[in-house]
Amino acid sequence: MPSINYTGVEEFILLGLSSDPKTQVILFVIFMFGYIIILIGNTLFLILIVTDTNLHTPMYFFLSNLSFLDLCYSTSTVPRTLRDLVSEKKIISYADCVTQMYISLSLGETECILLAIMAYDRFVAICHPLHYTTIMSRMVCIRIAAGTWLCGFLLPISHVVPTLKVDFCGNNKLNHFVCELPEILSLSCQYIILVEFIIFVVGVIILFIPITCIVVSYIKIILNIFKIASSAGRRKAFSICGSHMIVVTIFYGSGMAGYMKPRSSAIPGTDKVIAIFYFLVTPMLNPIIYSLKNSDVKAAFLRFKSKHFC
């Protein structure tokens, strides 16, 4: 990492979501409530998947990765945000800011890839059911998951490292509640077209390539669903795929709105609202969305409840 003197900044001042004390209290309650739901929902989902052998399938293996990922993703930002909401000085060191940016980017990009893998898993299950257990064997799923996490933590290096060389000329007031890459670059006093181009290219790779795979997979899935003779089978397939598409729409929609739009068209403050969706709302909704119409998860919960609380 280059020396602090090169950037001209030793720490950043986070302007946060609001400067009004009463609004900060309301936001603290909202964020605290959301974070508790994230911890309870995703932890319970993980416990059900790990302990119930009926859920030991590729789909739920990837869902367990998603739940663990959501726990890490929200924890990378929300606890510090809660602390800042009750603190007078919202100061974060340069090193801590870069670390938070890298970790949140890594987890976010891992989720982008994982959602594409989950769409492919549904494609194989619905379109090639006879070969599903062979194609998506346990070892294959483990390798795919390991590769997903590895890629997720390697890709952000390509745009975090150039950011370390940006000079801020002492400008350290960050109009955000977390250290987000676009907001940090907006403080630069240099001509950073090359850095922005690298970020755009990586953004295309990490957002548009996976979402293309998702769209292609679901087109083939929908065409195949109409060939299913059983109406119950069609409903179950649509239910599982529908849950995934809701999650994909929320996560990718907020991600593209936050990272792919031109900085010149950005409305001040909108990035903070968008960030709430992928740091808080999506991790909170994921276990609910995947459980609401899922009979397997409901049955697993009832078995868990009768075994441990009755």
Domains of the chain, earliest start first: 4-308 (1.20.1070.10)
Q: Specify the residue for token string 């390991």.
A: 146
Helices then strands, each counted (H, E), the chain:
15, 3
Between CA 164 and CA 52 the distance in angstroms is 46
Does the pLDDT value for residue 105 go beyond 80? Answer: yes
- Per residue in 44-95, pLDDT (tens digit) is 999 999 999 999 999 999 999 999 999 999 999 999 999 999 988 889 999 9
Which residues contact residue 54 at a Cβ distance below 8 angstroms, ignoring those fewer than 6 apart?
Answer: 296, 299, 300
Burial class (CB in 10 A: 0-12, 13-18, 19+), 125: buried
Inter-residue contact 46 to 296 (CB < 8 Å): no
Q: Which amino acid type is present at position 251?
A: F
The confidence score (pLDDT) of residue 2 equals 42
- Cα separation values, 90 from 100, 131, 174, 175, Å: 15, 54, 10, 11
Q: Where are the alpha helices (DSSP H) in 52-88?
A: 58-75, 78-85
Between CA 132 and CA 121 the distance in angstroms is 9
The confidence score (pLDDT) of residue 261 equals 65
pTM of this structure? 0.89
Between CA 252 and CA 255 the distance in angstroms is 5
Mean pLDDT over 152-171 rounds to 84
The confidence score (pLDDT) of residue 35 equals 96
Mean pLDDT over 130-158 rounds to 93
Mean pLDDT score across all residues of the chain: 85
Between CA 158 and CA 166 the distance in angstroms is 14
- Per residue in 257-266, pLDDT (tens digit) is 777 666 555 5
The dihedral formed by the CA atoms of 155, 66, 289 and 231, expressed in degrees to the nearest 10:
100
